Amino acid sequence: MADVYKLKHLRGTKLKVFLAAANRIIPSDKDSIGGGTLTTAAMVDLSIDKLEPALKKKLLLLFTVMEPLGIFFGGKIFSKASDKNKDRLLSWMEKNPISALRLGFFGLKSYICLGYYTREDAWKIIKYDGPIRYKQPYHDTILRGLAQNKVEIAE
Amino acid sequence: MRLEYDVVIVGSGAGGGTMADRLIPLAKKGAKIAILETGPYYPHEYFTQREVEMLSLLRNNGAWPTVNGSITIAAGEAVGGSTLMYTGVTFKANDNIIREWNVPDLTPEDLRPRFTKLWKELNVIEPKSDMINDNNKLFKKGCDKLGWEVEKIHLNLKNCKQEGFCNIGCATGGKQGILEVQLPKAIKAGIELIPNFTVNRVSDSTVYGTIKKTPPDTKPGKLPPGDVEIKAKRIVLAAGSPGSPAILMRSGFNNKFPALGRYITLHPALTVYGIYPKPVNGFRGFPKTYYTARFSETHDHFIETAFYYPFVSTKHLGLWGTDLRDTMKKYNQFMCMIILNHDKAKRENMVVLDKQNNPHIKYELSPESIESLCHAQAQAARIMFAAGCEKALMPCADKPIFSQEDVPDDKLEEFIKPSNYLSIKVPIASAHPQGGCRMGYSINDSITDSYGKVHGYPWLYVADASLFPQSSHVNPYLTVMALADRIAENLIKTSSSWI
């Protein structure tokens, strides 16, 4: 039976916001379903667990704040906004004169990329051959299993 | 728990590891010496070559920004310190830089034989042609075509298998860092290594700290977790920058030393990419073998070859959306290089402690550094196009992804310009924090003398990159080791008076 990982931090609204943002940071196309998947969320959830408490708090707060902010970009909350309006909000954060918002965007984007580009399914798409010592074991079997799409994810 | 030693070394990186090695003669005479390391002791088989698993080698799992968030700092937190995740790039600090440091008694003539000795011990080599991968060949081709001088990077390697994962732990032991050279010798000579030991403060010849639980699959120390007090005749801080200044700040020394924690330099770096029409596969083979110092004197930067794994590359690219997705699909066609700015030491760039007493770096990138990094991006684009790249990606360009047709060569400097710099959006990183316990003449302008002895505290020394009064301009590990060699030599010379 496959291992199961239960999300600890990215739940409810935070998960909705994360998935919606991840779909825009790494959009789907014919080769890939993109970043907005539970597997990306689970990889990020595990990494958030290891974050320094102050940074963890700020990152999780960002997911909460982004949802109502969506209203100012087209009238709907972020997770329900159109792709165009989601991009407008993300771009506003990225180039904002307030450095805390730019930092928030940088953190969000970094974690989404961590959750996606460290996985073996993404490696195939980008033609990265992966580790030479492919079978070298690692103590955190959940992390390894997530990277190999061998772990079930529970919300 | 209360313990007593003759010498305690805090930190096991380039400074602490070398210190331990050089104090072997004292250990052989019966002196009790310990190395305390805040990070775990990773065995070779821990290094799985997967970047998400190896983030634990870095302080805060690599998420350690400066206070304003504009620069991400990469610092090793493990036995071996940052030598665990450097590429083995070996530079001797230039004579002029040592003179500019203006530290009493510290001369190029003093350091030169130490560099030579270390060069031999660490098996520093000039890479042969079979070590030059395609990313490096393209760099050479580009520079040659432009008529720019390009030099080989010297590397501390022995029996390197060229697997290409130097930055996330060398699984083969080919990289001749602290883990392979100095520490095994020191441990064999009876010097005790205590991993997972965080030093909180030092006072009256005593180190106060805590031993944490040993993380899974790492080598345990001999002592159990818990609070520890260690009395020592000599305490040598080699926790790096900002580690060592932070220990002194937590210990109340900032009341006596106005320069403590200040004059931090970061060697700000940008990793930049070009897209070549064919596969380059820069992730295989040795990542760094060439550099150009052509603009070091005139524009304060070095351009070196480099290569990184997919996740870290996405951070460098500064893209998102379809731009990121489509660019990353050409990951195997990336040509990659890193540009390093020689930043100036400024008093206002400093170490600060948060509420939990953890160190952070408060640093403002100067207009001169931004200008230098922009100039370097323009030169990097020139090298890429001369090498045959179809596109170049530069974060400070008017258009972040551009081809040669988009910008005439003589307009590159207008196209890549400081006004396009926006902090945080432009992904600047640092792997070389320096300063904070600068050497110098007196308590008013410095923390230690030229032998790393803290002014007015004969039991307390510093032996790491925090000693640098200014940037070393080059990758700093060899200079750190040379200073540690000098400090250890002096400790041994004077040992009859204190041991």
CB atoms within 10 A of CB A50: 12
Residue B311 lies in a domain: yes
Q: Is the model's pLDDT at B495 over the cut of 70?
A: yes
Per-residue pLDDT at B197 exceeds 90: yes
pTM for this structure?
0.96
Q: How confident is the model at residue A2 (pLDDT cuts 50, 70, 90)?
A: confident
Q: For residue B416, which amino acid is it? A: I
B143-163 pLDDT, tens digit each: 999 999 999 999 999 999 999
Task: Find residue B237's DSSP bridge partners.
Answer: B10, B462
Residues of B in contact with A138 (CB under 8 A): 48, 50, 53, 217
Mutate to test the interface with B, among A55, A123, A127 (most CBs of B within 10 A): A127
Last residue of a domain, one of B422, B446, B470: B422
Which domain-ending residue is among B388, B422, B456?
B422
Tally of domains within chain B? 2
% of chain B residues with pLDDT over 90: 99
The CATH number linked to B179 is: 3.50.50.60
Instruction: Name the pairing type of β-strands B33-36 and B192-194.
Output: parallel
- Percent pLDDT > 90 in chain A is 92
How many domains does chain A divide into?
1
pLDDT at A23: 98
Nearest to A106 among B49, B50, B424 (CB): B424
CA dist., res. A124 & res. A148, Å (int) = 12
Out of A117, A136, A144, name the one closest to residue B310 (CB).
A117
What's the pLDDT score for residue A1? Answer: 56
Please list every residue in chain A whose beta carbon sits closer than 8 Å to the beta carbon of residue B307: none
User: Letter for the amino acid at B335?
Assistant: M
Q: Sign of torsion, CA B152 B156 B160 B166? A: negative
B429 found inside a domain: no
How many other C-beta atoms lie within 10 A of the C-beta of residue B233?
A: 17
* Contact of B325 with A36, CB cutoff 8 Å: no
How confident is the model at residue A53, as a pLDDT?
Answer: 87
pLDDT value of residue A59: 92
CA A51 to chain B, closest CA, distance in angstroms equals 7
- Output the average pLDDT for chain A: 95
Residues B398 and B444 occupy one common structural domain: no
Of the residues A94, A138, A141, A144, the best mutation for testing chain B's interface (the one with the most B CB atoms within 10 Å of its CB) is A138
Q: What is the chain B residue with the closest CA to A130?
A: B50
The answer to whether the beta carbons of residues B58 and B75 sit under 8 Å apart is: yes
Q: Do B113 and B136 belong to one domain?
A: no
Report the pLDDT value the prediction gives residue B499, as an integer from 0 to 100.
87
Residue B23 counted as domain residue: yes
In a domain, B19, yes or no: yes
Q: Based on the fold, state whether residues B146 and B77 are members of the same structural domain.
A: no
Question: Does B72 share its domain with B197?
Answer: yes
B360 located within any domain: no
Mean predicted lDDT score pLDDT of chain B: 97
Pair B411, B315 in one domain: yes
**Averaged over A94-98, what is the pLDDT?**
97
Burial class (CB in 10 A: 0-12, 13-18, 19+), B317: buried
**Neighbour-count burial for B69-96, b at 16+ CB within 10 Å, e otherwise:** bbbbbbbbbbbbbbbbbbbbbbbbbbee
* Chain A residue nearest residue B71, CA to CA: A103
Q: Are A117 and B163 inside 8 Å of each other by CB?
A: no
Please check whether residues B58 and B105 belong to one and the same domain. yes
Mean pLDDT value of segment B207-214:
98
pLDDT for B380 = 98
The confidence score (pLDDT) of residue A54 equals 85
B61: chain A residues, CB-CB within 8 Å? 47, 50-51
Q: What percent of chain B has pLDDT over 70?
A: 100
Question: How many A/B residue pairs have CB atoms within 8 Å?
Answer: 135
Q: Which domain holds residue A113?
A: 3-154
What are B31-46's pLDDT values in tens digits? 999 999 999 999 999 9
Q: Is residue B288 part of a domain?
A: yes
Q: How far is CA B368 from CA B300, B341, B372, in A?
A: 9, 10, 6
In tens, the pLDDT along B308-349 reads 999 999 999 999 999 999 999 999 999 999 999 999 999 999
Place of tokens 């032991």: B173
Which CATH number goes with the domain that contains B145? Answer: 3.30.410
Smallest CA–CA distance, residue B395 to chain A, in Å, is 13
How many Å is the maximal CA-CA distance in chain B? Answer: 71
pLDDT for A8 beyond 70: yes
ipTM above 0.95, yes or no: yes
Q: What is the DSSP string of B297-332?
A: HHHSEEEEE----HHHHHHHHT--THHHHHHHTTGG
Same domain, B242 and B179: yes
- β-pair partners for A4: A152
- State whether B332 and A123 contact (CB < 8 Å): no
Nearest to B50 among A50, A107, A131 (CB): A131
* Segments forming the whole domain that contains residue B462: 2-123+164-262+434-498
Residues B56, B186, single domain; the answer is: yes
Averaged pLDDT for residues B240-269: 97
In a domain, B352, yes or no: no
Q: Is the pLDDT of residue B186 over 60?
A: yes
- In a domain, residue B353? The reply is no
User: Do B189 and B249 reside in the same domain of the chain?
Assistant: yes
Kindly determine whether residue A117 and residue B328, on different chains, have CB atoms separated by under 8 Å: yes
